[in-house]
């Protein structure tokens, strides 16, 4: 199927959203950690602009993905519906939650900092919070903690996928591939 998942398989749309967003989000994590830890010179301030614009692009795709997901069947984990299957499902929910919290908290914190934002210098991005130092601090703290949690959740998610592929030898990874 091109658009809709079935109870046992992911559609092309589901796969493209999964892998496209995976690439975008992993890049965003790398970018964010670089911004947090490197000494950024004035000449490199455009990197913040890129992180923000790619983050907003990701937010658009994530909202599309959540809407699409709510309107489509979802394959259940393969094999027995045991503790591992339940953990996998909870982890997917956590990943969806973090995928929304990260760009939204970044957008709110950046709005509160008062710096103008643009979507790749194409059009300005509206501020979605008033200029305020306390709001900026709280939402950057949320962005930071959600980022660390996302890294942890992803390590578990990837370990689970690889364990099922290489150790259990089931079709979990193959059915998400093209
Ligand atoms: C930022 C990176 C990633 C995010 C946010 C992410 C998120 C998700 C989510 C939310 C689902 C559940 C899909 C649904 O049922 O609606 C899923 C499924 C899946 N992901 Fe990822 N993923 C990422 C990266 C990866 C990577 C790198 C791998 C492989 C090593 C992978 C392998 C899989 C597989 C195999 C499934 C299907 C699980 C099943 O059919 O039970 N994911 N992913
Ligand atoms: C998928 C989306 C996003 C991911 C995965 C992500 C991830 C991260 C991570 C891991 C960090 C480093 C930790 C930290 O210092 O907070 C970071 C920093 C940052 N993010 Fe994001 N981010 C996303 C979207 C956004 C958006 C949409 C904005 C603003 C519009 C934004 C603004 C920032 C800023 C300004 C920093 C630097 C904070 C500092 O210097 O301490 N992020 N991001």
Per DSSP, which regions of 27-152 are E strands?
117-119, 123-125
Strand (E) or helix (H) holding 124:
strand 123-125
**pLDDT per residue over 10-62, tens digit each?**
999 999 999 999 999 999 999 999 998 888 787 778 899 999 999 999 999 99
Tell which one of 45, 147, 153 to mutate to probe ligand 2, the residue whose CB is within 8 A of the most ligand atoms.
Answer: 147
d(CA 142, CA 140): 5
User: What is the DSSP code (8-state) at residue 81?
Assistant: -
Q: Mark residue 114 as left, alpha or beta (left: phi above 0; alpha: psi -120 to 50; beta: remaining).
A: left
Average pLDDT, the chain: 94
**pLDDT per residue over 134-164, tens digit each?**
999 999 999 999 999 999 999 999 999 999 9
Q: Which atom of ligand 1 is nearest to the CA of 95?
A: 10
d(CA 134, CA 148): 21
Give the homologous superfamily in CATH for domain 12-176.
Transmembrane di-heme cytochromes, Chain C (1.20.950.20)
């Amino acid at each position: 199927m091109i658009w809709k998942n079935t109870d046992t398989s992911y559609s092309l749309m589901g796969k493209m959203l999964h892998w496209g967003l995976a690439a975008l989000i992993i890049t965003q994590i790398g970018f964010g950690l670089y911004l947090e830890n490197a000494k950024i010179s004035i000449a490199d301030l455009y990197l913040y602009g890129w992180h923000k614009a790619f983050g907003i692009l990701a937010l658009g795709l994530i909202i599309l993905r959540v809407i699409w997901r709510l309107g489509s069947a979802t394959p259940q984990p393969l094999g027995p519906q045991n503790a591992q299957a339940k953990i996998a499902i909870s982890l997917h929910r956590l990943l969806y939650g973090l995928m929304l919290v990260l760009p939204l908290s970044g957008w709110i914190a950046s709005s509160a900092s008062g710096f103008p934002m643009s979507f790749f210098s194409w059009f300005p991005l509206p501020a979605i919070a008033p200029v305020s130092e306390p709001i900026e601090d709280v939402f950057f703290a949320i962005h930071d903690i959600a980022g660390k949690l996302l890294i942890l959740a992803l390590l578990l998610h990837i370990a689970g996928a690889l364990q099922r592929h290489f150790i259990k030898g089931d079709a979990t990874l193959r059915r998400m591939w093209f």
